[in-house]
Amino acid sequence: MSACLQEAPLPHRPAARPPAGPGWVGEPLRLAALLAPAAAVFAAFFLLPLVRLILIGAGGAEGWSAYLTTLVDPGHLDSLISTLALSAGVTLVTLAVSTIAGLFLVRHHFPGHAVLVALLTFPLAFPGVVIGFMVIMLAGRQGLIGTITQALTGGKLVFAYSMAGLFLGYVYFSIPRVILTVMAAAEKLDPRLEEAARSLGAAPWRVVADVILPALKPALISAGALCFATSMGAFGTAFTLATRINVLPMTIYTEFTLQANIAAAAALSVLLGLITWAALAVARSVAGTSVAAAG
Amino acid sequence: MHSLSNRRGLGFWLQLGFTLLVCALLTVPMVMSMLAGLTANYFVGLKSGLTLRWVDEVLRVYSGTILLSLQIAFACLACTLVLGVPAAYALARRPGRFARLVEEMLMMPVAIPGLATALALIVTYGGVGDLRSSWLFILIGHVLFTLPFMVRAVLAVMGAIDLTTLEEGAASLGASFLRRFFTVVLPNCRSGILAGSLMVLTLSVGEFNLTWLLHTPLTKTLPVGLADSYASLRIEIGSAYTLVFFLMIVPSLILLQGLAKRGRPSV
């Protein structure tokens, strides 16, 4: 089946060739000139500094092997592993929560539906520091969860200033984006497939497991990769909650500011950049180019 | 009727409850923080009375950060418009492998953590003249981070309209390139330019990951001030400051949602 598809001729893109005529002669040159300012700024202020950063990471006495030494340093390795574990956990929980809520919102319309969707997607552009503050509001010393648990059990549950608080913050931050992606994908599903499955006697959970989830898979992978990359690289939330939370961005920050170990900070930044960039490359290759990310 | 009662069975209510719970998780802390910023004493609670005292204090102490954030956001918007819209046009006119590669490269400052980009900027340009202590240093970071959002928003609209035919029509009537660009291309892309602009403003005002390393004591932006106030001041002031921040970004968020609802491509 897939072999058949591969052998089929590729659909032609509408050609963007300029028609012949005097007005169109300089077109390639003109397009290059229009692209040039953005390219120049990008090269000068991003590519060049990035190359510099990569070289600094290898600038010590050890040369390029400094990358390996930095990585296997027990403190750094710990921080890398806990960041990976945190991001993977956040991704799984966010995907589960957002798929349930997103599917529900696409399949049912009821009074207040639009308001609910608007509220769920509102925190989309909140910066990490504000997310951190929201976690403090929920799970901090004077937070809602503490107040409720004190009233119920007498003990105050406070977990904002730890890995658990960071976990809650990243889930908070990721839910709106993943819900939007799930809803966009679910709206494109062919309802006839689902009806066919149901008319053949499939139980509701079978329809979800065998029809809906497979159809949503590309969207879920791409949203998940995006969520993972954001959790790996985010800095503001951890910074607000507690500077001693052992995640990679905090480690880089400490190496740079407190230890003044610029080579290690550079090497770890390059490593972190590679991880997030690879995750987002996965997202794009699965979902085409329609994926957007935000810090 | 049967299908309706079937649809609103136990499953429906369970899922509705779950979705409402998620919504509460997202909105309750927002409401709490807004109220805390208006409460005389958060520890005592709402019965201590509502007051604008904290908001006043924030405006008095932190107005500098608010103004600087607005200044950077609008300068950033100007830069991304001038750099991004022509670039999007060039990419839209020549779709293909090269355009995709360029788009991919422009996305890199979003894919790579802001901390890394900021470090790279500091080690490369930190020693150049007074740049390190200037607000322009922060602006550079913000332009890198927001440019891809402008390019993508505009590119999405340019891809949806038939740019070639529109332009050919105008060209056959003798319109020069500049005239076509400003009177045909730009007006047809205005929804994309608007969505991109709102996105750029919102992201720039809230940017922290890059800004924290790029700022100096004299160039504090709003999120930097927020981090300061969360760490050191009483919760009412942090909340009032957050309230001011919400008031600044909420209008553009609502407009963005409106644009998305009209089916226009947003980022």
B56, amino acid identity: D
Q: What's the mean pLDDT in B184-189?
A: 88
Per-residue model confidence as pLDDT tens digits over B15-53: 999 999 999 999 999 998 888 888 877 777 777 778 888
Alpha-carbon distance of A6 to B115, in angstroms, equals 42
Task: Give residue B262's pLDDT.
Answer: 67
Q: Return the residue of A nearest to B83 by Cα.
A: A38
Task: Give residue A122's pLDDT.
Answer: 81
Q: Per-domain residue ranges for chain B?
A: 1-51, 53-261
**Taking all residues of chain A, what is their mean pLDDT, rounded to a whole number?**
83
- Give domain A59-123+166-233+245-287's CATH number out of 3.10.180.10, 1.10.3720.10, 3.40.190.10, 1.10.8.60: 1.10.3720.10
Architecture of domain B53-261: Orthogonal Bundle (1.10)
Task: Give residue B5's pLDDT.
Answer: 44
Strand partners, B39: B50
Q: Per-domain residue ranges for chain A?
A: 59-123+166-233+245-287
Q: Is the per-residue pLDDT at A200 higher than 50? A: yes
Q: Which residues of A touch B25 (CB under 8 A)?
A: 138, 172, 175
Per-residue model confidence as pLDDT tens digits over B208-250: 989 999 998 889 999 998 988 888 778 888 899 999 999 888 8
User: Which among A32, A134, A293 is the nearest to B30, CB-wise?
Assistant: A134
Q: Return the residue of B nearest to A94 by Cα.
A: B22
A-proximal residues of B, 220-259, CB under 8 Å: 223, 226-227, 230-231, 235, 238-239, 242, 245, 249, 253, 257
Q: Mark yes or no for CB contact A252/B119 under 8 Å.
A: yes
Q: To the nearest whole angstrom, how far is the Cα of A233 from the nearest Cα of chain B?
A: 5
| pTM, 2 dp | 0.84
ipTM of the complex in this document: 0.84
Task: Give residue B257's pLDDT.
Answer: 77
Task: Give residue A98's pLDDT.
Answer: 94
Q: What's the mean pLDDT in A34-44?
A: 92
What percent of chain A has a predicted confidence (pLDDT) above 70?
87
DSSP H or E segment with residue B72: helix B53-93
Per-residue model confidence as pLDDT tens digits over B132-185: 889 999 999 999 999 999 999 999 888 888 888 888 888 888 888 888 888 888
Task: Give residue A25's pLDDT.
Answer: 53
Task: Give residue A108's pLDDT.
Answer: 87
